[in-house]
Structure 1
Amino acid sequence: MTAGLTVAGTADRAAELAPGFGRLANMVEPGRLEYVDYPLPEPGPGALLVRVLRANVCGSDLHTWRGKHPVKKSGGLGHEMLGEVLAIGAGRPTDNRGEPLVVGARVAYTYFQTCRRCAQCLRGQLNLCDNAYEHFGKQPDEAPHFHAAFGTHCVVQPDQHVYVVPEALPDVSAAGANCGLSQVLFGIDQVGIAYGETVLVQGAGGLGLSAIAVAKERGAARVVVVDGVDARLEQATRFGADAVIRLQDHDGIEALTEAVRAAFGGAQPDVAIEVAGVPAAFADGLQLVRRGGRYLVMGNLSPGTTVPYDPGLITRKALTVRHVDRYDGRYLWQALRFLTDHRDRYPFDTLVDAEFPFERIEEALVASAERRVTRAAIVMG
């Protein structure tokens, strides 16, 4: 981490563990954590036991922490992480691209599985696997206990994608590959960005910054970012945004539309990408993209949040609106390659601007929810 906040811990909780035990943070209820210890399991056939090196606080973790997840109201938290292989179950000699798995290897892995048996998988929609969260959604008291990222260890199940991390890629960059960047790469492939097209990104969090980089590498002629947090807009500029728009400087959709037109030289963008997670952003995006344009929606996930919009506008503008949930697990390798190939061009190593020790996870969640940090990381030591 080149700059930012490091929060010192008062004690190394991992060092207090009895031999053969691991520790995890359990959300007893939204907004309240407790630490619990369990014996480390032997990985079953095709599974891995990994020691978690780093885990980031993602926007969807905050949704769960605030009680806005449609199902998950308790249990382990965290899903954006990097690990080191401690033990390998029988029948798993390689990762998902054929690279040998060995004890001590750094690995990135999907937080969900692809069962390849459900109706969605059999249709080829692997990102929509009906059994994706079979293990991730379990409670910590259910063996093998270590199902999520906010823990000293994690068990990676046979149907989760696992990839050995390229040696040249630092931990701080690799830890974010399995969520934001993989999601953006997959999502953008669903709507396409042709060489010379223009792109509007709504939201400059981790997803939005990744979207800038991917859009640029796909050949976008101009990328403009809208957000309401100055620090995020500054980061967007460092990631290559051609212009940024401070949301609160424009009162209402008409003023925002004019600002967007001005940023694109009098036109509206060919593609808009919603990664703000704010319902109003969706209605705005329908107005901001050009007639015949494409709109990729990935940020709005929380159930029960609604916003009024004119469905006829979509027809009159002949828009293509694509909502994307999760990603095909194979895109995790693409994300690792993207980070490795472009590590000198885009400052992914600066996305994390605050590091917290394992015993200060709740503080990391609160600081992230209050937007005092752009992206927090839990460093296991």
Structure 2
Amino acid sequence: MKGRVAVLKAYGGEFELREYPVPEVEAGAILVRLSRAGVCGSDLHIWRGEMKEIYGASPQDLTFGHEMCGRVDKLGAGVTTDSMGQPLREGDRVTYLYFFPCGRCPVCLHDEMGSCPRKARPNRVAGTPPYFNNAYGEYYYLRPGHFVFKIPDEISDDIATPTNCALSQVLYGLRRAGLRAGHAVVIQGAGGLGINAVAVARDMGADKIIVIDRLPERLELARAFGADHTLSATELPTADRRVEAVKELTGGFGADVVADLVGYPEVIPEGLRMLRGAAATSRWAASRPATSSATTPPPSSAATRGSWPPPTTPRGPSSSRSLSFGATSRDFPSSGSSPTCFPSSASPKASSRRTGCSARARRTRRSRARPSRCEPQRPWNWGRRFSAKALTPSW
């Protein structure tokens, strides 16, 4: 039996579909037949050739993608349950982590598996056994030592697909930053991560959510997802003015938590100035090279939590909480956030043209994304009702 994998031969180019033999499933492993794959912001960076320092001057038959879900095609010997102890059978829908921490080093034992120095990640070069190593293919080979979660019936594939990425990251990051009911939080950046952070912060009981971005459509979406105040970085062009605006909105004291979801080092000193004393800032956006040498110190006793590379990379418990969030959270606006899904049978030409169109919340992240060829958006929601009950016990 063979399956197909989408292979990128040139940055910014089209994908080529190649066939590879479907591997036999070893003990402790799972073969998943994929039903959905998402396009993350990092996937856009890879496709555009903006991460050449990692992937080389040319893609070298690159395969990638990490947001996905599917059905169990084959279970390896000894696999009878998912990572939460739920019975697992062939045909069950699942989502899972796309990296494999050792689980034994001091970092893992401190509940920071995303930062495990020994963690493994599947090879991204096409033709490397077991061949199905990333999201853009018909199968995914989940090696032994995985974290896998059965998807509840009430959660659609559209909702489950990104739970192992942005949603897991913000659930874990805001918890690590110490966000609690009644807190004021500033979210720097309203892209895919930022919009998820708004929804999660609201669910966690934040009293005041302030979002900063340059794009009006992002700020509009942030308000629809629960932001109390939005600040335009275009209308407030200097850090001093943005800090002053945050102080005014928080009674002169500053925010309890500031989350950097932009990924530019320049915003870090600015975020620190927005904090009240002894508050915390959390970062979980991919950093780009600094263009300034700003070294503004944080307020007295302020704590910086989180980094990139993470501990805020999605982990087992965070992925489980993501599914709980999707099943129990209130309905969020469908317009502007619904994913467009492309079946695995889509032609490589169509797939490459539509790259960057998986979700409008992500699509607005960069002006160079290509929305014009997107299919019509299908309404969906995050779940049936708004409640933090499913998340609270594990915090």
Question: TM-score, normalization: structure 1?
Answer: 0.84
What are the Cα deviations for residues 80-129 of structure 1, in whole angstroms up to 9, with x where unaligned? Answer: 11111111111111110111111211101111112224553355532222
1:45 paired residue among 27, 31, 50: 27
Residue identity in the other structure for 1:51: R
Counterpart in 1 of 2:192?
206
Counterpart in 1 of 2:9?
28
Counterpart in 2 of 1:192?
178
Residue identity in the other structure for 1:319: A
Cα distance in 2 between the residues matched to 1:206 and 1:69: 23
8 Å CA contact retained: 1:119, 1:130: no
Counterpart in 1 of 2:233?
247
Counterpart in 2 of 1:308?
292
Q: Secondary structure at the match of 1:51?
A: strand
Q: CA deviation at 1:329?
A: 1.9
Residues 269-278 or 358-367, more deviating = 358-367
1:292 paired residue among 269, 273, 278: 278
Q: CA deviation at 1:149?
A: 0.5
8 Å CA contact retained: 2:269, 2:296: no
Aligned residue pairs: how many?
353
Question: Is 1:55 matched with 2:37?
Answer: yes
Percent of pairs with identical residues = 32
Residues 316-325 or 267-276, more deviating = 316-325
8 Å CA contact retained: 1:353, 1:373: no
Within a 5 Å distance, the mapping from 1:95-244 to structure 2 comes to 95-118=82-105, 120-122=107-109, 124-135=111-122, 137-244=123-230
C-alpha spacing 1:41/1:69, structure 2 compared with 1 (3 Å): same
Q: Secondary structure at the match of 1:226?
A: strand
Q: Secondary structure at the match of 2:212?
A: strand
8 Å CA contact retained: 1:63, 1:69: no
Question: Is 1:336 matched with 2:320?
Answer: no
8 Å CA contact retained: 2:95, 2:151: yes
Q: CA deviation at 1:225?
A: 0.8
Residue identity in the other structure for 2:319: L
Q: CA deviation at 1:213?
A: 1.8
Cα distance in 2 between the residues matched to 1:256 and 1:312: 15
Counterpart in 1 of 2:260?
274
C-alpha spacing 1:287/1:34, structure 2 compared with 1 (3 Å): farther
Q: CA deviation at 1:230?
A: 2.1
Counterpart in 1 of 2:50?
67
8 Å CA contact retained: 2:355, 2:370: no
Cα distance in 2 between the residues matched to 1:62 and 1:206: 12
What are the Cα deviations for residues 124-150 of structure 1, in whole angstroms up to 9, with x where unaligned? Answer: 532222343332x34221111010011
Cα distance in 1 between the residues matched to 2:322 and 2:156: 14
What are the Cα deviations for residues 138-169 of structure 1, in whole angstroms up to 9, with x where unaligned? Answer: 42211110100111211111222100001111
Residue identity in the other structure for 1:61: D
Residues 90-99 or 292-301, more deviating = 292-301
Counterpart in 1 of 2:353?
363
8 Å CA contact retained: 1:114, 1:329: no
Question: TM-score, normalization: structure 2?
Answer: 0.81
Q: Secondary structure at the match of 2:353?
A: helix
C-alpha spacing 1:214/1:124, structure 2 compared with 1 (3 Å): closer
What are the Cα deviations for residues 39-81 of structure 1, in whole angstroms up to 9, with x where unaligned? Answer: 2222211111112111111122223333326534442111011
Q: Secondary structure at the match of 1:261?
A: helix
Q: Secondary structure at the match of 1:270?
A: strand
Cα distance in 2 between the residues matched to 1:363 and 1:242: 36
Cα distance in 2 between the residues matched to 1:264 and 1:223: 10
Cα distance in 1 between the residues matched to 2:117 and 2:262: 26
Q: Secondary structure at the match of 1:36?
A: strand
C-alpha spacing 1:199/1:293, structure 2 compared with 1 (3 Å): same
Cα distance in 2 between the residues matched to 1:348 and 1:298: 26
Q: Secondary structure at the match of 1:176?
A: helix
What are the Cα deviations for residues 181-204 of structure 1, in whole angstroms up to 9, with x where unaligned? Answer: 111111112111122110011111
Cα distance in 1 between the residues matched to 2:8 and 2:260: 29
C-alpha spacing 1:176/1:153, structure 2 compared with 1 (3 Å): same
Cα distance in 1 between the residues matched to 2:138 and 2:334: 24
Q: Secondary structure at the match of 1:62?
A: helix
- Measured on the aligned residues, the alpha-carbon RMSD in Å equals 2.6
What are the Cα deviations for residues 299-351 of structure 1, in whole angstroms up to 9, with x where unaligned? Answer: 1334xx1143543522x543211124113322111110111011x34358963
C-alpha spacing 1:166/1:257, structure 2 compared with 1 (3 Å): same
8 Å CA contact retained: 2:190, 2:212: yes
Q: CA deviation at 1:366?
A: 5.2
Residue identity in the other structure for 1:364: R
8 Å CA contact retained: 2:164, 2:314: no
- Whose RCO is larger (CA < 8 A, sep 6+)? 1
Q: Secondary structure at the match of 2:136?
A: coil
